[in-house]
Structure 1
Amino acid sequence: MDEVADTPKPKAVKGEDAKRIKRDTLGIGDRRKHHTRAATPMKGHAKAADTHHRLYRFRFYPTEEQVEQLERTFGACRWVYNEGLALRSNAWEQHRVRVGFAEMCRTGRGAARQGCA
């Protein structure tokens, strides 16, 4: 039990080394700036004091054709999620590099980009 507590935690690779590993080894493109679009002020989400929320519940009874389409769609979503999770896990285990959501979207791995629309 004491041996586990004494082992140091692995350090993450940061800075230029992390950028190089992500670009060359993992195939994650560099970050692009968005300076072409003008900034817009944020809108407040506060509701008036006398407003109320309504709750609606719906049931969905899909046809056999809709069930098949939903199963294909959920299967594709599960595949995309698992591919992203595998990339993140492998990046940490093999290279000690953290990969975030935006970097996942920049991987350019075909169907994996569909989850980042």
Structure 2
Amino acid sequence: MPFFHATFRKHLNSIRRHGLGADGHGTNWPGCAAGVYLAAHPAICVSVMLEHYLAYGDPSSVPSEHLDEICVIVVDDSRVRSDRLLADPQTSRSDSFVYSGVIDISGLPVLGVEEALAV
């Protein structure tokens, strides 16, 4: 079962180079605890990104342009150590997780929002 992680396209080069959760790389939004947020379905991580955009996004930005900046990394579960995977403390959902560590995403697919929502 793959996991999914939403981020902004502008972060992809750094994530590919250093991995998801690499030291010195912060969160996309304020109030998020440290860790790599993963979901069991791509729609979950896209909806979280949209929720945070509504709460913290730049009011002068264009929502459709913001949506185009979001992408979803398909994370092969063989790259996720189960002993570092915990339930997401910010939600009661059972399909949202936080990972403590760095995940190598080299060679993994990256989906646009429309592709991710069609999965």
Report the structure, 1 or 2, having the larger strand content.
2
TM-score by length of 2: 0.23
- Between Structure 1 and Structure 2, whose CA radius of gyration is higher? 1
Q: Scaled by the length of structure 1, what TM-score is found? A: 0.23
More helix by share: 1
